Structure 1
Amino acid sequence: MAISIVDGSTAPAPQRGSDPRRASVLLIEDEPELAEEVRLELEAAGHSVRVAYDVDEGLRAARSGWASILVVDRMLGSADGLSIVETLREEGDSTPVLVISALSSVDERISGLKAGGDNYLVKPFDVRELSARVEALMRRRGETRATRLQVGALEMDLVDRKVRCGGLPVELLPREFKLLEYFMRRPGQIVTRAMLLEDVWNFKFMAQTNVVDVQIGNLRRRLDPTGQRKYIVNVRAVGFKLDADG
């Protein structure tokens, strides 16, 4: 099946990476209803989306260089979507890839990452989490490793490992420092618990643990012992985000 330019636009395709705040997403998914749901969510977030429905068309579209992010389903009919990722990596294409799949075992996740996937999301999923992961990949792709970060009243020096909040020094444990850095590199972005477990705790599988909530609670108290300002806020049923205004 041919690639579907789902926004109906006849304008020339944007160049990869032309706007670091917006992704050009190629979704390779053979379930039309899911593809439409994902498309609508990503477009609502300001991204451009194209859809391909099988391996051949997906690979052809990926090779065009239009996409800044690929979202690839593992099972495309009788074919494995990882073949697309493996081929692109062999050809030297480093476009970030989010693999989506109903295959949820640790071995399958490892296979997806070893094939060249940058992230792995298990079906069924909330499309808001998929959107958050796409944005995380986009930020990671264009991220400069600044040694000083500032978000509102929060300041972080990554060389001296110092944090200040409202001009006052804040003492953080190593994990708390890493957690705050993760949020400060993504101000205002929704971050899910699964993203934090994978990127901050280096878990490569879904663990039944409340460690994220416990550590965020500790970090909140470190930043403001009075509890009057909550810099890291809950996003109901999705995760958290750093609110620069507190």
Structure 2
Amino acid sequence: MLSESQGSAPMEHLNRYYDTDYVSHQVKAGEHRQTIGGMWDKIGQMQFDYLRAQGLQPGSTLLDIGCGCLRGGVHYAAYLDAGNYYGIDLSRDLLDSGYDIELAAAGLQHKVPRENLRDTDAFDIAPFGVRFDMAIAVSVFSHLPASYLRQCLINLADSMKTGGTLFATYFHCPPGHDFNTPLRHPAGKLSHPGKDPFHYREEELVGAAEDLPWRLETYRSWEHPRDQWMAHFVKIDQ
């Protein structure tokens, strides 16, 4: 993610996931599922089903951005060939709870080498040394400004195969709404232009990919229970 010197908001003001003491306390209390927003079964299954419909195959290499404690990761690990699931997250505590609790309970630790899960606050993807077929970021950029989406696209470009797709959820601001005012979504969530949770217009999505080897292919509702939409960014040749 961007540093303060790059013009982003101070990290401690972005969202609660940057409060490492809070996250650590929640994980130690056994509340890791609730810490990432709950809806464990619904959203975990939903994102897996979505990627299957978009062409995910057992032999695909998948990067789960903001994977947390593996709400979706448990489903992906069960389906993908051993070693093909990778995840990054801001919190080591959440990653460890996903590996030591969720994957262990599902009997899936053998399919995900521990080194396939990296904690990073900078979308640091290159150390994996993998060219990914797909990447997904669920409930990540809904908590971050569009500049972070751009930084993710910059870092991901060298690690994504041409034709590969990043699927990223976000709160959609429709053309008829004043972007600079809060927006109430059908599920009741209130999003904002400059604080968590953030909303984007089409212009912010397009701008995130400007002059980068990415094309915004589509953005649409995918019936998310909190009304987050899904944007598809396809890696292109330049």
Q: TM-score, normalised by structure 1?
A: 0.28
Q: TM-score, normalised by structure 2?
A: 0.29
Return the structure number with greater relative CO, CA threshold 8 A, min gap 6: 2
Q: Bigger radius of gyration, 1 or 2?
A: 1
